[in-house]
Amino acid sequence: MREQKRDAVVSATKFLPFHQALIEEDDIAAVVNVLKSGWLTTGTRTKEFERAFAAYVGASHAVALSSCTAALHLALAAIGLKEGDEVILPTMTFSSTGEVVLYFKARPVLVDCEPDSFQAAPAAIERAITPRTRAIIAVHYAGCPTRIDAILEMARLHNLKVIEDAAHALPARYIGKMVGGFGDITCFSFYATKTLTTGEGGMATTENPEYADRMRMLSLHGISRDAYKRYTAEGSWRYEILDLGYKYNMTDIQAGLGIAQLAKCDAMREKREQLAEYYTSALASTDAFTTPRVPLDMQHAWHLYVLQVNPEVISISRDRIIEELKQRGIGCSVHFIPLHTHPFYQHSLGYRMGQFPHAEHHFETAISFPLFPRMTFEDSNHVVDALQALAREYRR
């Protein structure tokens, strides 16, 4: 990576966006090579990406897909989720985690966060278990591993499956082990803003060969094994549709980019960690904001840097801060608007405001700041200066 020599994004563009992907000459060459090869969709590059990814996270099988949403959907299909089943998941997540449960006419059972973190509270998960519960979807919020050992233990006691939503958690470690092989199936995202991008894309990893085969088959119309080879010298035009499938395969164009990105995944995390540590140390002197804590036994992927505003200390609202920062050329975001506060979840599933107070409080006070390897320390300094100026101006 050559980010040290880059111009600060903010001085170069006058606006520091929430995210910019790190696309270098090797990424471009990898995509051009696929374009020149004459074969653009699922093929040898996709298989190579699957092997490299599985080795990287330490999983036995990896299935490359069109998105993390597709991976979550196929993970639930692989474990045999049925109509009327219940799946426990945090309300503090993106729409994908809940909607995939509804594809099966099963029920997403939402749970609150811990009081002092954005992760689902293990005690709340335990209380939500009923005889209809089939699975828990554990979300590694922001890229910091959730307490997956507690969740796995609960699942073992109640005979439940664990799907990990690791859309944010590449690369992340829990007690020294990479996220990617704790639960029954782990789902990663390569969306445009993620820590490794293929534009759109996803990966499901598992130790279970039957789950891997089933996800692979369902990802390409439910067609028999190796359907992707049907136009090659090794393949055959004849195929059988074995089940109701989907069009969720990854293309070789995406995989080419994914392979190039994977080679710098550690270096990109290191740069994000340095930027995150800079934010945290530079903001340590003000009590207007609470900076993210990383438990000692976890390695954070630093997909998101989420700060919380302390309303007892400053009189400006979270929304106004985001507006003020935008005026100063800084793009921010909010992760997440809890699922139970959305009209769809209230009208169709009966959730209501006030039901998950920790998640609501976290949502009201959270701001996600720019955190990407192309940023310079000058850029992060610009963010810190703007925040400190607001903290001084609006101190109660």
Ligand X SMILES: Cc1ncc(COP(=O)(O)O)c(C=O)c1O
Q: Are 71 and 65 in contact (CB under 8 A)?
A: yes
69 binds ligand X (CB under 6 A): yes
Nearer to ligand X, 104 or 390 (CB): 104
Beta strands in the chain (DSSP E): 61-65, 86-90, 107-111, 133-139, 161-165, 173-174, 177-178, 185-189, 202-206, 289-290, 298-299, 305-309, 366-369
Nearer to ligand X, 168 or 362 (CB): 168
Minimum distance from residue 239 beta carbon to ligand X (Å): 27
65-73, 216-224, 288-296, 322-330 -> range binding ligand X (CB under 6 A): 65-73
Nearer to ligand X, 368 or 380 (CB): 368
Interacting residues with ligand X between 187 and 216 (CB under 6 A): 189, 191, 202
Q: For residues 248 and 74, give the distance between their C-alpha atoms in angstroms, rounded to a whole number.
A: 9
164 binds ligand X (CB under 6 A): no
Which residues touch 120 (CB under 8 Å, ≥6 apart)?
89, 90, 92, 111, 112, 113, 114, 138, 139, 146
Q: Residues 161, 194, 264, 271: which is the catalytic one?
A: 194
How far, in Å, are 61, 122, 173, 346, 371 from residue 179 at the CA level? 14, 18, 6, 32, 21
- Going by their DSSP bridges, the two strands 86-90 and 107-111 should be labelled as parallel
Q: In three state form, how does the secondary structure of 243-304 look?
A: CCCCECECCHHHHHHHHHHHCCHHHHHHHHHHHHHHHHHHHCCCCCEECCCCCCCEECCCCC
26-34, 165-173, 209-217, 285-293 -> range binding ligand X (CB under 6 A): 165-173
Interacting residues with ligand X between 9 and 48 (CB under 6 A): none
261 binds ligand X (CB under 6 A): no
- One of 42, 46, 91, 97 touching ligand X (CB under 6 A): 97
67 binds ligand X (CB under 6 A): yes
Q: Are 357 and 252 in contact (CB under 8 A)?
A: no
How far, in Å, are 42, 100, 215, 244, 256 from residue 221 at the CA level? 13, 18, 11, 7, 23
Nearer to ligand X, 72 or 220 (CB): 72
Minimum distance from residue 268 beta carbon to ligand X (Å): 17
88-96, 230-238, 245-253, 386-394 -> range binding ligand X (CB under 6 A): 88-96
139 binds ligand X (CB under 6 A): yes
Minimum distance from residue 378 beta carbon to ligand X (Å): 28
- One of 165, 184, 360, 379 touching ligand X (CB under 6 A): 165
Bridge partner residues of 188 (DSSP): 203
113-121, 163-171, 305-313, 357-365 -> range binding ligand X (CB under 6 A): 163-171
Nearer to ligand X, 45 or 140 (CB): 140
Q: For residues 313 and 204, give the distance between their C-alpha atoms in angstroms, rounded to a whole number.
A: 43
Size of the site for ligand X (CB under 6 A): 14
Q: Examine the residue annotation and report whether 194 is marked as an active-site residue of this protein.
A: yes
98 binds ligand X (CB under 6 A): no
- Cα three-residue angle 36-37-42, rounded to 5 degrees: 120
219 binds ligand X (CB under 6 A): no
Q: Which residues are catalytic?
A: 194
Residues that bind ligand X (CB under 6 A): 67-69, 93-94, 96-97, 139, 165, 167-168, 189, 191, 202
